[in-house]
Structure 1
């Protein structure tokens, strides 16, 4: 039994064992007396238009919850991703915190004692059902405040038609990437390997490569390790062997945003790039046959992949701990988790929903992403300084891999800013 399977088996076992326990931690919370309670719920919109806005999902879920829990109302407010974190921050600053928020970060609120911990809100079976790697990513000083809501992982995508025409197999090592990209360039492929290190989401692309080189943003004890020798070596390889060899296309990586790279892939202009489930679906709609493999490493496939998670949290201000817990227990039921994941091609964050997705033929295209999730590495979400560190990365990481760039110097400056922000917490 592999490590990922063992971890999932243990998580499911714990969750099933907990089902026999009648007491729940949320059941003994304050705020569960008589009288109606209205929970203000703020969420991010994962939709791309009015036709698939997340507001529809949350309004439907709220009505079902209200029917099952007389006396508790849910007032839903959905904002675009570019606005939602700021909106919640402003609400908290006005002393008008929502009861529940589904947003991108929780650590700052947890460190300011604005949030209930998971074990103050959730039934034991709900908390035990989260994938362990995601539970860990939601912890501050060993206590869980961020509840993972939805997740995604990344794989290396390649255009099967372009690879077949060039007589290439899927890459397994960095050397394979360089060889395949060179062959694709010879055949006139516009972006042999699309490397989006522009300001849109370069912190994600960077982390994927650092992990494949055996490094990352933090060390084994959670401290920043941005300018480690392994990270410098990874960016040096990108500078010299990929960018410097002219294998990344006509747009400099530091000027190439993820959206433009993804669009070029759906138009058949990209041989390889790092992608997520939504890109898979978009490409196949345009007739691009997609191959997917774990991101190659120096000597073989990487042992870990990058994961991304978004977060739920319960605010203390209105003292609705019990009602918040009941809503969370309802929202994390398998039917509801899978409905949202299906709508937006994302991955569930619970053991039981993941097990259902693995065995359902409808979800076969997502299985490779799902298999990567338990061992994925995440951003250092527990650090309030991560927001500043991420901005520093997006501003300058592209310059590290351009011809004549200075990987060591760029990483050292990013590390300095991250450490400075950490010390200011």
Structure 2
């Protein structure tokens, strides 16, 4: 779709306003494009608000962040953007705060840890729009053939991987540390080892002792033992790992809700369990959120806020979550989903949300740090790699990026 670049201003009568929204596409085909979701939602909203028009342009995830940046750089901000990151725009004072927009009821309904992740220096600018968590997927057929049960600890995961390898499984554990989404796999493992990208006050600690111990274990006990498959982790992308799981070539891997549909289409019988930790189930899992934000330039706070209150109604949040196998970002929709049998498949992911930890998206340096992780983390587990050395290198880049803000 081609965005209409230009001021989103007054149209028609003097009281009429057109709001421009740029949004990401969560569909995997034209049949379930997010454009259809937005068109239906906007039609309902406009029928009740004849003085407001909402013009939505949907772009693929490959293009949407860049498209918004181009519009902002050209001084042609949309009224709203639903994309992957908000902190850079908040840092430049381009965004309304959530307080400026949402009703008290709507704002209070946002899941607390997601709302907190939408803050920069204690002020919320990013409104969570979609969320997901991660679970360990395993191939039930391969596990049965190998006579093993799902792991709860790292040692059990390694034991299972050895048993799967003995059965000729191509990827006993698929470890996608390739450039597509290495920052996600990395974070899941860091959390399971009791570490993470940042400490309790949000300072980067990528080369902490716990993080180094985690990657030492991955290298020594999985990768060097030949338990991660024929493709080097630094060259294995998530999409390829998911495709291999759907072909029945993977024993275990970390996955988000969309993997359920991918695997089911190919007839793979799968199970899901919480991520194993050093000495038991991991106390934290990785959560991911995408964001809604509103730009101040066009001055439509009242109309934008009223529209967003409608977007964040329980009915609309549930409809979006169900359409795209994502988790609700509001408490009311989460409770409704937990109690509805048709959402049983998503419940294990939903149960993980309260103990999930998100990327440090409130750090304006995070985009730069994530890019470095994607590029370099695979070297930590390469044949001649040094986990401590690679993590120290990434930490140095993170510290410089943070100090430059």
- Counterpart of 1:320? 300
1:386 aligns with 2:371: no
TM-score for both structures, normalised by structure 2: 0.96
2:134 is aligned, of 149, 154, 158, to 154
- Counterpart of 1:414? 394
1:114 aligns with 2:78: no
> Does the CA contact (< 8 Å) of 1:200 and 1:258 recur in 2?
yes
- Counterpart of 1:79? 59
What is the distance in 2 between the residues matched to 1:225 and 1:70? 52
Which shifted more, 34-43 or 101-110? 34-43
1:284 aligns with 2:264: yes
- Counterpart of 2:323? 343
What is the distance in 2 between the residues matched to 1:375 and 1:64? 35
- Counterpart of 1:170? 150
- Counterpart of 1:300? 280
What is the distance in 1 between the residues matched to 2:187 and 2:384? 22
Deviations along 1:31-63, whole A, 9 cap, x unmatched? 9x9600100010011112211111111111111
What is the distance in 1 between the residues matched to 2:185 and 2:372? 14
What is the distance in 2 between the residues matched to 1:400 and 1:368? 31
What is the distance in 2 between the residues matched to 1:69 and 1:372? 38
- Counterpart of 2:117? 137
Deviations along 1:97-140, whole A, 9 cap, x unmatched? 00010000000111111001001100000000011110110000
Displacement after TM superposition at 1:70 (Å) = 2.0
What is the distance in 1 between the residues matched to 2:64 and 2:209? 37
What is the distance in 2 between the residues matched to 1:338 and 1:285? 23
What is the distance in 2 between the residues matched to 1:237 and 1:405? 13
Q: What is the SS of the residue equivalent to 2:176? A: coil
Deviations along 1:56-82, whole A, 9 cap, x unmatched? 111111111111112010011111111
Structure 1 moving runs of 4+ over 2 Å: none
Q: What is the SS of the residue equivalent to 2:150? A: coil
Q: What is the SS of the residue equivalent to 1:63? A: helix
Gaps of 5+ in 1: 1-30
- Counterpart of 2:248? 268
1:233 aligns with 2:174: no
Q: CA RMSD in A?
A: 1.1
1:357 aligns with 2:334: no
What is the distance in 1 between the residues matched to 2:180 and 2:117? 23
TM-score for both structures, normalised by structure 1: 0.91
What is the distance in 2 between the residues matched to 1:284 and 1:80? 24
1:207 aligns with 2:187: yes
1:224 is aligned, of 180, 192, 204, to 204
2:160 is aligned, of 174, 180, 204, to 180
> Does the CA contact (< 8 Å) of 1:133 and 1:375 recur in 2?
no
> Does the CA contact (< 8 Å) of 1:294 and 1:302 recur in 2?
yes
> Does the CA contact (< 8 Å) of 1:192 and 1:272 recur in 2?
yes
Displacement after TM superposition at 1:284 (Å) = 1.5
Displacement after TM superposition at 1:351 (Å) = 0.3
1:45 is aligned, of 25, 29, 32, to 25
